[in-house]
Structure 1
Amino acid sequence: MTQQKHVTLVITHALKPQDAGTYEAWLGKIMPIAAQYPGHLGANVIRPADGQGMWNIIIRFDTLEHLYGWTQSETRRQLVDEITPLLGEGDHTEIRTEAAFWFTPPAPHVRQPLRWKQFLITLLVIFPSTNLVPWLTGMALPALKGSLLLHLINDACVVALVVWLWMPIVTRLFAGWLKKA
C-alpha cells in the first residue's frame, strides 16, 4: 500500500572540520543525483556551527516507497562508499513521517532554538502568507467569496506554502541566528 503523506530522511554525518571542503564537494555531487529520483521534494543541508563537525542533511520525498527507492539504490550506496572514510560515525539515517519538524534538532546533542526565536520565524512566514493568499484567491475566485470552500482553499494554500516553501527557506536563511543562545 502506498503511503500518501510525505516523508523525510534525516542523514547525520560526523566529520573533522578539516574535511568540510571535501564533504561540500561530495554534497555537490550527490544532491543533484538524489533530486532526479522519483518523488524527491527537496533537500536542506544544516552545516555545523564553528568548531563542530556534525552535518545534517534533510531530504523530503512524497512517499515512503520513493524514499526507499533512493536510500536503497546502488547509486546512493556507491556515493556513500566514496565518503565513508571521512565519516566518524558512519552514515546515520533516520526516517521521519511527521508533517513538519522545522525546529526539532535532527541530532540529540543539538539544542533546540529558543521559543521566542521560533515564534518570530513562524510569524515571519505565517503573517504574509495569511494575508497574501486570501487576497489572491479572492481575486481569482470571486464567486466563492465568504464561503467555507474558499476558506478551505486559503488554509490549504497557506499550509502548503509554509510547509514546503517558506519554512525550509527561512530556517536555512536564519540557521545561524536560530542556533545562537
Structure 2
Amino acid sequence: MAEQNAVNSDNHSEVSGVSIIIRHKVRLEYRARYEEWLTRIISAAAKFPGHNGVHILRPLPDKEEFEISVRFACEALAYNWLQSMERKALLEQISSLFQGEEQLEIYNGIDFWFTQPSVQTKVATRWKQWLITTAIIWPLTMLIPVLLKLVYKYLSLDIYWVIQQGIAVSIIVALVVYIIMPRVVKVVASWLFSG
C-alpha cells in the first residue's frame, strides 16, 4: 500500500522529540479486527530504539478515522521504525480494511499540536501556541499540586518537596500531551489557524 508522507523536515537529522501522526480510515464492520491489529503494531513499535509512547484518538461509533500519535526520541529513530520490515509486513496484513490510503505526517517538538490536519503545511503562529499552552498549563499548576497535597495528607505520606514537584509536573505534562491539548486544539482550530 502506498503511503502519503507529509514530512515537516527535508532531512532525517537528529531532532529531539518527533511525533509520527498516522491516520487510518477503517470500515465500520472491520473495527474490531483493526483494534486487534493495532495492539500488535503498537507492541512492535515499542520494541524499537527511541520509542517514547503512543496515543490513540479513536473515532466516534459512527465515524471511521483513527488517529495514532507515536513518539520517538529523534527523527532518525522515527524513520528507522517507519521504514522497517516489521511495519511494512503488519501494514500489508490490514491495508485491505482501509478506506483510502494511510495518511502519515511527522512533526518535531510540539508542532504537531498546532498543525491543522487538513492543511499539513499550516502551523499556528508562535504567540497563539504560547497563549493556548499557557491557558492550559496555568490552571493545572495551581490545581494538581493542591490535589496531590490532599492525597499525601490522606495517605500520611511524607514526601520531599522536590519529589512532590516532580510528580506534579509529570501528571501535568501527561494531561496536556495525551488528553487536553489534542482536544482543545480541535475546538479552537478555526481561530488557531486563521490569519
Q: TM-score, normalised by structure 2?
A: 0.61
Structure 1: unaligned runs, 5 residues or longer? 109-118, 142-153
For the pair 1:127 / 2:139, whether they are aligned, the reply is: yes
* Counterpart amino acid of residue 90 in structure 1: E
Match 1:168 to one of 170, 177, 188: 177
Mapped to 1, the partners of 2:29 and 2:118 lie a distance apart of 21
Match 2:62 to one of 51, 73, 77: 51
Mapped to 1, the partners of 2:21 and 2:99 lie a distance apart of 17
Match 1:24 to one of 18, 26, 35: 35
Identical-residue share of aligned pairs (%) = 26
Mapped to 1, the partners of 2:69 and 2:23 lie a distance apart of 9
User: 1:151 maps to what in 2?
Assistant: none
1:91 CA drift (Å): 2.0
1:96 CA drift (Å): 1.2
Mapped to 2, the partners of 1:72 and 1:47 lie a distance apart of 25
Mapped to 1, the partners of 2:51 and 2:39 lie a distance apart of 16
For the pair 1:139 / 2:161, whether they are aligned, the reply is: yes
Distance 1:107 1:54, change over 3 A: farther
Q: State the Cα RMSD in Å.
A: 3.9
The runs of 4+ residues in structure 1 deviating greater than 6 Å are 172-175
Contact 1:46/1:172 (CA < 8 Å) preserved in 2?
no
Contact 1:44/1:168 (CA < 8 Å) preserved in 2?
no
1:171 CA drift (Å): 3.5
Mapped to 1, the partners of 2:138 and 2:86 lie a distance apart of 39
Mapped to 2, the partners of 1:4 and 1:104 lie a distance apart of 18
Q: TM-score, normalised by structure 1?
A: 0.65
1:101 CA drift (Å): 4.0
